[in-house]
Amino acid sequence: MAQNGHNRTTGRQEVNPGRQEVNPGHIVSVQDFSSDTLRNIIAHLKASSSFEHLVYREAELDAIWTITGFFLANEPASSVRDEVNRLHAGAHRAHDLVAERRPGAAATVLEAFL
């Protein structure tokens, strides 16, 4: 089960990019900041080459940043909160790298959270 921005769990499973072909022209549905969601975004980052793809990746990273921000606003101090805070900053950094047309570098930033 994955944590969502409301500090609850969701049973929704993201596509496993290792088992299905990744289409960078499709937007990844971001409903949480689970490892599955991050893996899916990473796979799409690595496959992205056009401007349109990068716009989609920026939107997905914005969603991760927003959901982690909601989590941080509602979570008391803990080691989980500290890790989510690092992911929040990492999503911001990855977004900036995508804006610089460096999706591979953005993927590397997110891989540190798996």
pLDDT in tens, 6-42: 444 333 334 454 456 899 999 999 999 999 999 999 9
Residue 27 lies in a domain: no
pLDDT of residue 21: 85
Residue 104 lies in a domain: yes
Residue 105 lies in a domain: yes
Residue 6 lies in a domain: no
9 DSSP β-pair partners: 3
Over its C-alpha atoms, the chain yields an Rg (Å, rounded) of: 13
Residue 11 lies in a domain: no
Question: What angle (nearest 5°) sits at the alpha carbon of residue 73, between those of residues 107 and 14?
Answer: 40
pTM score of the predicted model? 0.83
How do 9-10 and 2-3 pair as beta strands? antiparallel
Range of the structural domain that residue 71 is part of: 62-114
pLDDT in tens, 69-96: 999 999 999 999 999 999 999 999 999 9
The total number of structural domains that make up the chain? 1
